[in-house]
Amino acid sequence: MSIEKHMQNVPHSRWIRALLIGLQCPFVGEKGIGDMVSTRIFSVFSKLTFLDGRKITFWLSTYPRDIFGGRFVRGVLRYLSNRKEFTRSGSIPHDVAAALKTLWYLYEANKMEPHLLYSEFYSKEISESVDLLEEYLKWSHAKYDKDLNTLVSFCQVPFILSPQAKSKILQVEAEMIKNQVVQASILQHLSGNLFAFPFLVLRVRRDHLIQDTLVQLNVERIDYLKPLKVIFEGEEGIDQGGVTKEFFQLLCRELFNVDYGMFTYEEETRNFWFNPNSMESEETFELVGIILGLGIYNNVILDVHLPLVVYKKVLNIKPLLHDLNDLQPQLGKSLQQLLDYEGDVEETFSLTFQITYDYFGEMKTYDLQPGGGNVPVTNENREKYTELYVKYLLEDSIKDQFQSFNKGFQQVCGHHALQLFHYEELELLICGLPHFDFDALEKVTVYQGGYTKDTGVVKWFWELVKDMPLEEKKALLFFTTGNDRAPVGGLGCLPFIIQRNGGETDRLPTAHTCFNVLLLPEYNSKNKLENRLKLAISNSIGFGLQ
C-alpha cells in the first residue's frame, strides 16, 4: 500500500477514502496475505495527524453496525490475537501499537455513534497474557499524550482490557500502596511512635455501627490506605476477612435504609438515590463514599444498588437524558417524548421553566433559570428545558450530598487505576455480578480432607445447589463467601473449597468466609444434607463466619 507516500501531496478526501476502503478488505485480520495487508493499513492509521484523525473518526462513525463491528473492530481484534508477542524488550512492537491506534480511532467513533457495547473491544489475548504489574508501572510513571502518538503501556488503551485484568491492576496498585503505608508505620513504630500501627483497626458495636464507624474514620483519616481489620465489641475472634465482609454488609444495610433518611428508594428501578432533603451531615455522606472505596480497596463486594449515573459522576462524566432511565424511567420517557413531539409544544404541554418538588409533604417550586415561571417551553427552547431539568435532577438537587460522597470515595480510591474503568465496569467492581453460574463454580472447586468430586455427599451437594431458587443460591453464596454476588469474571474466578469436616453427625455445615471454604460433614443421606445445609445458611449472619 502506497498511501503513506501520497499523504502530504494528495487531497485528504482521496487518501482517507482509500484508507477506509482498505479497512473494509475481507482479508483484514486474517493470517497469510491478510496479515501483510492489515499491517500496512494499520501503519497508515498510526501516522495520521490530529486533524486527519478527527476526520477519519467521524467517517468511521457513519458506517452501519455490521461493517463497523464485523469488519472493522473484529478485524483489528483478530489481527491482535494472531500476534506471537505483545511486548518485546519491555516495549510494545510497532505492528501491535499501530493496530491499537487503529482500534482507538474505532473506539472514539463508537462513542460518537454507538454501534457496539464497550465490552466488544476487549482483547482476551492481551488481557490474559501481558504482565499487568509491568504495564501498570510503565503507565503510572511515564509521560505521554492522550492521542497515543507514543504508546508505552496497554493501560493507555484500557478499553482493550477485560474487567478481570483491570481489577487485577487495581489490586496490584492497592497492594503496593498498602505495603508502602505498612512499612512506613513499622518504621515509625521502631522510631518510638507507639501509636503507629500497620492496620486500620475498627472497633464497632453492632447496635451503633454508623456512629462508631463515623467517629473512628474521622479520627483515622490518614489510615484509609492500611489493610482493614474489624472487631465487633464483645465478640472473640481474629478477623481473617470474614468479619470484615460481614461488617460491610451490615453497615451498607443501615446506611441505605430509607428510614435513616440519606437515600430514597425508587420502586420502579429498585435503585437508591441521594435524598435531596436529607438532614444528615456532610460527614455521613462522606462515610458512604469512604465505605465504597474501602470495599474496592479491600476486595470486598458490596450489596449496594445505585444507578449507573453515580459511577459516571465519580468518573467525571456529565449525566445526560438517557441516564434518567436507570433512575426514573417514566420521567425520562416523558422528556424524550417532549423532544420528539411534532406539534405545538407550548400549546399541548403548557410547561414553563419552573418545576415542582416534594419537600417533606409540602410542594415547592424551583426555577430552572431566572424567572422560569414566566418562560414557556416551546419548540425552540425544549432542548434547553430538558437539559436544565436533567441537570437539576442528577446534579443540582443533590450537589452537596454527592460532593461529600465523592470526596470520601476519592480519598480512598482516587489513584491511577481508577482511570482505567468504564463506569459500568466500576459498578461491577463494587457490586459484583448479579447472576450466578454454579456450573462454572463446580468446575473450579477444590476438594480437601478426603473428598473428591465423586464423593457421594459432594454429588448430593451440587444436585441440591442446582435445584435451589435464586434467593437460596444467594444465601448459600453469602454463607460460604460473605458476599451474595459473584466477583468480577463470574463464579468461575472464585477460589472455592469444600473440605470434609468429620463423618455422620447432627452438626451443621460451617464456613471460613475469609478463604471461601465450606466445612461439610459427610452426612449419610441427601435429605439430611439438605436439612442441615438450609438450616445453616438461613442462620448465617453473625454465626459461623470467620
List residues with catalytic annotation.
Answer: 514
Question: Is-contact 278 401, C-beta < 8 A?
Answer: yes
Nearest to 393, CA basis, from 352, 332, 305: 332
d(CA 88, CA 93): 6
Q: Give the 3-state secondary structure of residue 466.
A: helix
Question: Is-contact 262 284, C-beta < 8 A?
Answer: yes
User: How is 295-332 classified by DSSP, letter by letter?
Assistant: HHHTT--------HHHHHHHTTPPP-GGGGGGT-HHHH
Question: Is-contact 511 544, C-beta < 8 A?
Answer: yes
d(CA 374, CA 364): 16
- In terms of C-beta density within 10 A (0-12 exposed, 13-18 middle, 19 or more buried), how is residue 456 classed? middle
Which set of grid coordinates corresponds to residue 26?
Answer: 475481507
**What are 448's strand-pairing partners?**
499
Max CA pair span of the chain: 86
Give the other-Cβ count within 10 Å of 320's Cβ: 14
Q: Give the 3-state secondary structure of residue 88.
A: strand
Amino acid letter, 353: F
Beta strands 517-520 and 497-500 are parallel
Question: Is-contact 198 182, C-beta < 8 A?
Answer: yes
CA angle 326, 328, 329 (to 5 degrees): 70
The CB-side HSE value for 25 (13 A sphere, CA atoms) comes to 20
Which set of grid coordinates corresponds to residue 30?
Answer: 486474517
Main-chain dihedrals φ then ψ at residue 286, nearest 5 degrees = -65, -35
Determine the angle formed by the axes of helices 282-297 and 423-431, rounding to 10 degrees.
80
Main-chain dihedrals φ then ψ at residue 171, nearest 5 degrees = -70, -35
Q: Give the 3-state secondary structure of residue 270.
A: coil
Q: How many residues does the chain have?
A: 546
The dihedral formed by the CA atoms of 188, 192, 193 and 195, expressed in degrees to the nearest 10: 120
Q: What are the CA-CA distances from residue 394 to residues 64, 309, 315 (Å)?
A: 33, 8, 15
d(CA 83, CA 349): 59
d(CA 544, CA 514): 11
